[in-house]
Amino acid sequence: MKIKTKVVHEIDFRELEKFATEVYDLKDYCFVAVQECHNDTVSEFTVDGEIDDYQREVAQIHETKDVPCYQNRLLLNMLCRDGYIPGGTYLVDVRW
């Protein structure tokens, strides 16, 4: 039987909001609103730090200090590219 083992990083959405806000000086960043998700959900992201195709969106985040809708994956990749988090699979847990 073949078994693959992989590392998965799990983080609470509030911790991600706090950390990303501190790192990029974001204003009013809300993971739930950006992801358009609900309570008792888990969002999975593959993070490798690759953002070459999203330079316009990265510049927008830096200029406006705001994360556009559906750009949580990009934010995680920015954190990875900038050396704040390791690459890998991330599960962001939303429970309140």
pTM: 0.92
CA-based torsion, 64, 75, 22, 32: positive or negative: positive
pLDDT tens per residue across span 6-25: 889 999 999 999 999 999 99
Type of residue numbered 85: I
The answer to whether the CB of 57 falls within 8 A of the CB of 68 is yes
CA–CA distance, 21 with 41 (Å, rounded to integer): 22
pLDDT in tens, 53-84: 999 999 999 999 999 999 999 999 999 999 99
Burial status of residue 60 (CB atoms within 10 A of its CB: 0-12, 13-18, 19 or more): middle
